[in-house]
Amino acid sequence: MTDDTRTTKLSLYPEHRALAGEEGIYGDLKLPSPGSGRFPYVLVNMVSSVDGRSSVGGRATGIGSRTDREAMRALRSRVDAVMIGSGTLRAEKLNLGLDDPGGRQPLAVVVAGAGDLPPREHLVGEHRGLLLVVPEGSPRAREVDDPAVSVLETPGCSGRVDLGRLLGALKTEYAVDRLLVEGGPTLNRSLIDEGLAHELFLTVAPKLLLGREAAIVSGAPNVVVGETRAEPRDLTLLSARAAGGELFLRYRLRRPRGPGP
């Protein structure tokens, strides 16, 4: 029996408990203790259809069920910050926080390119604050005139933020020990390529979307720095749960074979 088999836990999630609010899909989730390393512990969370599509008309909202949104909030409740790429925020209005306005809200982090200013009004709900990340010297950064928005200029190249530098700054300057990334596919890809993502949570919704839409990771690095090598990466399946026909999969990313960042 391989190591993978022993660590795989398949369970049929008792849906009535989720509906009663007792314990969601990831209510009992245990994450590793934050280490003393340079970077936060990074979780990527996505939803896709059975045919691997992560958006309909550019938007991810509506692919997952209410149970998926509960699982998403359970993950958010265990992290210090929730990060997305600016394209994801441009596509639709998003709430990156928790439902409980009295709870400890995560910091919202939006990663933008040099010529790019995401629509602030698309970010709704409660947050510890909004941190807008732009490449150093970005001319658009000076246009931000909103006391609720902090701008973090981060070293980069080709108009894109250096994600290793960004994650280092989040850890040391913003006390982010655990970071949840919710897309888009390009940001996911760059984090994975640079060896900065530790776990992937994937909800598989029981549907075929059939569109010409992006996968959960995408090869076009149009927002952030990232190599576009297409070497396959092995994952370890940590758990698989099901409720209402949806599958909730948790994978660990193995370290890339080459030298890390």
If binding is defined by CB under 8 A, does position 231 make contact with a copy of itself? Answer: yes
How far apart are the C-alpha atoms of 193 and 231, rounded to whole Å? 9
Q: Of residues 104, 142, 212, 257, which one binds a copy of itself by CB under 8 A?
A: 212
Q: Which stretch binds a copy of itself (CB under 8 A): 44-52, 91-99, 112-120, 122-130?
A: 44-52
If binding is defined by CB under 8 A, does position 210 make contact with a copy of itself? Answer: yes
Burial of 125 (0-12, 13-18, 19+ CB in 10 A): middle
Residue 232's DSSP bridge partners are none
- In the chain, the amino acid numbered 1 is M
Residues 121-160 that bind a copy of itself (CB under 8 A): none
If binding is defined by CB under 8 A, does position 240 make contact with a copy of itself? Answer: yes
Backbone angles phi, psi at 141, to 5 degrees: -60, -35
Least distance to a copy of itself, CB of residue 16, Å: 6
Q: From start to end of 32-147, where are the E strands?
A: 41-49, 81-85, 94-95, 107-111, 123-124, 130-135
Least distance to a copy of itself, CB of residue 246, Å: 8
What are the b/e assignments for 139-170, b being 16+ CB within 10 Å? Answer: ebbeeeeeeeeebbebebeebbbbbbebbbbb
Q: Which stretch binds a copy of itself (CB under 8 A): 115-123, 145-153, 164-172, 192-200?
A: 192-200
> Cβ of 3: how many Cβ atoms within 10 Å?
8
How far apart are the C-alpha atoms of 100 and 202, rounded to whole Å? 24
Least distance to a copy of itself, CB of residue 133, Å: 24
If binding is defined by CB under 8 A, does position 256 make contact with a copy of itself? Answer: no
Least distance to a copy of itself, CB of residue 1, Å: 6
Which residues contribute to the site for a copy of itself (CB under 8 A)? 1-2, 4-5, 8-12, 15-16, 48-53, 56, 189, 192-193, 200, 202, 204, 206-212, 215-217, 219, 230-237, 240-247, 249, 251, 253
